[in-house]
């Protein structure tokens, strides 16, 4: 039996929780109920369009499919509180399965399609998952095969049964076929009554998001029904999402941004419509925007840049009203082009799977929208900017951002050691972002003091890359750092000191990491072989100096770092 989730979470202290309830932040209703209620308000309005398959569902049809799927999951042996790793591309199977889990109290673990053996094993074992949902193949990769390969490792580690749910014609009798699982049911009234009677509690864990990579392997963030619903509803309000909104989900839905900021959940809860697309590639995205009358979309800066480029030839994506940009800092010059070129209002979103969301508001002056990352969503979000001794810095000075609030959990799941570092004893989350507060109260993200590389919004743990590179016998010392990149903001560069008489190449490092099985976006894209690594006065590797060094080298090679696009 998997351990009850509650054994390893850090709940909000009761006085805070009571205040969040009393002041109406926490609705006290599980997400499945809220979604059901939203669909009852406009059952015949369109809810979901899968741009890849053409499937279109109204709110009633979606809710009934979700209920039918939830009932089938329960009938096939999954129970409320069980965990299921969901690794699906954006599409109707992702939506129906995830919502079905929320409805039944089964807890989805939001893996990314890019994850491979190492990440999936870690997530499955840590969450003690009893199932995984995968596409049969995606972009030429055999996800079904890998899911079955994990069976033995996961069973040995957790003692759990391991069921593989497969989306696509490649499913065979050893799998649960997601197309059958997500099909319409025979008795929607009975399904609904059964699920209403066994619904999870509002403070139960609704889902696990993944942390953006500071320690070796991703950590799990347990988000409750109450806190995540609040996150989604509040985001919808700030993005101007109402029942007339049509939202394009083309960033991975497993990311907090596309899932609930406002994303899939916020838009459905507002009675709007979601269009799923497996890729944000501009041609496909612009076609989907035109075809479905998309009013709202979300992008990381690298995607926004490609959309801007595309719009110069193709013209603006006419129906688009709001483009949210977040996940990494958008350069001010790029931000200023969004409205004139795309004809849509820009909303900057500075968020984190750990909770806190900051954003610019739609009626903010252009200067605020284009040069800041906005301010916290909730009046109950607490934000401090502190120095190295956790003392508040004067306004206008950069400081490390600490936060607490009604949708920022107080600890990672099953991670006491990391929690001691990432949270203060009185529950503030150390985001690792270095920010400055403007006189108007908005935050500007100026840098970070965490050891993470932000590759176009994908977060990569430097420690994880180093751990893997250290496995190569020729490597004596390694440090992974961010190098500047014009398209993605940052990419991974590794500095290596080889063993005496040995050498190592970038291809060897990448091949080794691929053999271990990690997401491709984590593979280093540049190698610097050096005799020694710069160190600080206390003998730690000086990553700041290495980052400056690689930027300098690239500038020398190409005039500016900007001209160079490795791999």
Contacts with ligand OOB by CB under 6 A lie at 212, 256-257, 261, 326-329, 348-353, 357, 373, 431, 433, 445, 448, 454, 459
Q: For residue 52, what are the CA distances in angstroms to 56, 273, 278, 301?
A: 11, 16, 7, 24
Q: What is d(CA 371, CA 360) in angstroms, rounded to the nearest whole number?
A: 10
Q: Name the residue nearer to ligand OOB (CB basis): 210 or 342.
A: 210
What residues contact residue 266 under an 8 Å CB cut-off, 6+ apart? 232, 233, 235, 236, 239, 241, 260
Q: What are phi and psi of 210, to 5 degrees?
A: -105, 140
Q: Name the residue nearer to ligand OOB (CB basis): 200 or 405.
A: 405
Q: Name the residue nearer to ligand OOB (CB basis): 460 or 494.
A: 460
Angle (CA) 445-309-88 rounded to 5° is: 70
**Token code pair at residue 379:** 């009046």
Q: What is d(CA 149, CA 117) in angstroms, rounded to the nearest whole number?
A: 9
- Cβ of residue 412: shortest distance to ligand OOB, in angstroms? 12
Q: Name the residue nearer to ligand OOB (CB basis): 57 or 248.
A: 248
Q: What are phi and psi of 480, to 5 degrees?
A: -100, 130
Q: Name the residue nearer to ligand OOB (CB basis): 447 or 559.
A: 447
- Cβ of residue 271: shortest distance to ligand OOB, in angstroms? 22
Q: Name the residue nearer to ligand OOB (CB basis): 158 or 442.
A: 442
Q: Name the residue nearer to ligand OOB (CB basis): 205 or 496.
A: 205
Chain-centre distance for alpha carbon 342? 25
- Cβ of residue 261: shortest distance to ligand OOB, in angstroms? 4
Longest dimension (CA), the chain: 73
- Cβ of residue 285: shortest distance to ligand OOB, in angstroms? 18
Q: For residue 477, what are the CA distances in angstroms to 266, 467, 494, 496, 524?
A: 46, 10, 10, 6, 15
- Cβ of residue 452: shortest distance to ligand OOB, in angstroms? 7
- Cβ of residue 431: shortest distance to ligand OOB, in angstroms? 5
Tell me which DSSP letter residue 141 carries.
B
Q: Name the residue nearer to ligand OOB (CB basis): 191 or 227.
A: 227
CB burial of 359-390 (b: ≥16 within 10 Å; e: otherwise) equals bbbeebeeebbbbbbbbbbbebbebbbbeeee
Q: Name the residue nearer to ligand OOB (CB basis): 67 or 433.
A: 433
Residue showing the smallest CB distance to ligand OOB in the complex? 351
**Token code pair at residue 145:** 């095969």
Q: Name the residue nearer to ligand OOB (CB basis): 35 or 110.
A: 110
- Cβ of residue 228: shortest distance to ligand OOB, in angstroms? 12
Q: Given the structure tokens 């889902």, which residue do they identify?
A: 207
**Token code pair at residue 135:** 């596409």
Q: What is the β-pairing status of strands 322-326 and 296-299?
A: parallel
Beta bridge partners of 445: 435
**Token code pair at residue 433:** 């972002």
- Cβ of residue 222: shortest distance to ligand OOB, in angstroms? 14
What residues contact residue 469 under an 8 Å CB cut-off, 6+ apart? 475, 478, 480, 494, 496, 509, 512, 513, 524
- Cβ of residue 238: shortest distance to ligand OOB, in angstroms? 11
Q: For residue 143, what are the CA distances in angstroms to 88, 98, 114, 205, 512?
A: 10, 18, 10, 27, 20
Q: For residue 129, what are the CA distances in angstroms to 108, 162, 213, 219, 387?
A: 9, 8, 21, 15, 40
Q: Name the residue nearer to ligand OOB (CB basis): 214 or 295.
A: 214
Q: Name the residue nearer to ligand OOB (CB basis): 163 or 373.
A: 373
**Token code pair at residue 117:** 């053996």
Angle (CA) 305-255-485 rounded to 5° is: 35
Please name the helix (run of DSSP H) or strand (run of DSSP E) that holds residue 191, with its range, or none. Answer: helix 188-197
- Cβ of residue 310: shortest distance to ligand OOB, in angstroms? 22
- Cβ of residue 345: shortest distance to ligand OOB, in angstroms? 16
Say how many C-beta atoms besides its own lie within 10 A of residue 281's C-beta.
15
- Cβ of residue 349: shortest distance to ligand OOB, in angstroms? 4
**Token code pair at residue 246:** 């049509």
């Amino acid at each position: 039996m998997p351990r009850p989730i509650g054994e390893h979470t850090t709940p909000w202290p009761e006085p805070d929780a009571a205040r969040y309830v009393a002041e109406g932040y926490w609705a006290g209703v599980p997400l499945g109920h809220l979604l059901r209620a939203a669909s009852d308000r406009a059952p015949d309005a369109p809810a979901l369009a899968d741009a890849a398959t053409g499937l279109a569902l109204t709110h009633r049809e979606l809710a009934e499919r979700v209920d039918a799927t939830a009932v089938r999951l329960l009938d096939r042996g999954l129970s409320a509180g069980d965990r299921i790793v969901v690794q699906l591309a954006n599409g109707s199977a992702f939506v129906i399965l995830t919502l079905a889990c929320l409805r039944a109290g089964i807890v989805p673990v939001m893996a990314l399609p890019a994850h491979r053996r190492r990440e999936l094993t870690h997530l499955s074992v840590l969450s003690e998952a009893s199932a995984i949902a995968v596409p049969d193949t995606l972009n030429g990769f055999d996800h079904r095969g890998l899911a079955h390969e994990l069976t033995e490792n996961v069973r040995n580690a957790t003692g759990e049964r391991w069921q593989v749910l497969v989306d696509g014609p490649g499913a065979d009798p050893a799998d649960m076929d997601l197309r059958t699982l997500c099909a319409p049911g025979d008795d929607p009234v009975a399904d609904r009554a059964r699920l209403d009677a066994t619904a999870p509690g509002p403070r139960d864990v609704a889902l696990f998001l993944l942390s953006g990579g500071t320690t070796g392997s991703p950590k799990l963030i347990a988000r409750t029904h109450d806190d995540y619903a609040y996150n989604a509803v509040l985001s919808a309000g700030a993005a101007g999402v109402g029942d007339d909104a049509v939202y394009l989900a083309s960033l991975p839905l497993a990311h907090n941004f596309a899932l609930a900021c406002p994303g899939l959940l916020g838009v459905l809860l507002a009675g709007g419509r979601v269009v799923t697309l497996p890729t944000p590639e501009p041609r496909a995205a612009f076609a989907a925007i035109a075809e479905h009358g998309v009013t709202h979309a979300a992008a990381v800066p690298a995607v926004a840049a490609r959309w801007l480029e595309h719009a110069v030839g193709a013209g603006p994506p006419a129906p688009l009203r709001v483009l949210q940009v977040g996940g990494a800092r958008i350069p001010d010059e790029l931000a200023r082009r969004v409205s004139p070129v795309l004809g849509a209002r820009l909303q900057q979103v500075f968020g984190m799977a750990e909770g806190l969301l900051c954003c610019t508001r739609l009626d903010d002056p252009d200067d605020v929208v284009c040069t800041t990352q906005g301010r916290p969503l909730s009046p109950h979000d607490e934000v401090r900017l502190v120095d190295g001794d956790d003392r508040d810095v004067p306004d206008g000075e950069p400081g490390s951002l600490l936060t607490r609030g009604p949708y920022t959990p107080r600890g990672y799941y099953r991670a006491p050691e990391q929690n001691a570092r990432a949270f203060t004893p009185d529950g503030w989350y150390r985001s690792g972002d270095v920010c400055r507060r403007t006189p108007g109260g908005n935050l500007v993200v100026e840098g970070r003091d965490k050891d993470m590389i932000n590759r176009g919004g994908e977060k990569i743990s430097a420690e994880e890359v180093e751990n893997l590179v250290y496995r190569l016998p020729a490597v004596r010392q390694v440090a992974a750092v961010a190098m500047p990149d014009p398209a993605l903001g940052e990419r991974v560069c590794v500095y290596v000191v080889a063993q005496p008489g040995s050498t190592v190449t970038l291809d060897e490092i990448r091949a080794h990491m691929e053999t271990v099985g990690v997401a491709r976006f984590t593979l280093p894209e540049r190698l610097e072989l050096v005799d020694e690594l710069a160190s600080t006065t206390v003998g730690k590797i000086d990553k700041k100096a290495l980052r400056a060094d690689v930027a300098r080298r690239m500038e020398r090679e190409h005039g500016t770092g900007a001209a160079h696009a490795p791999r």
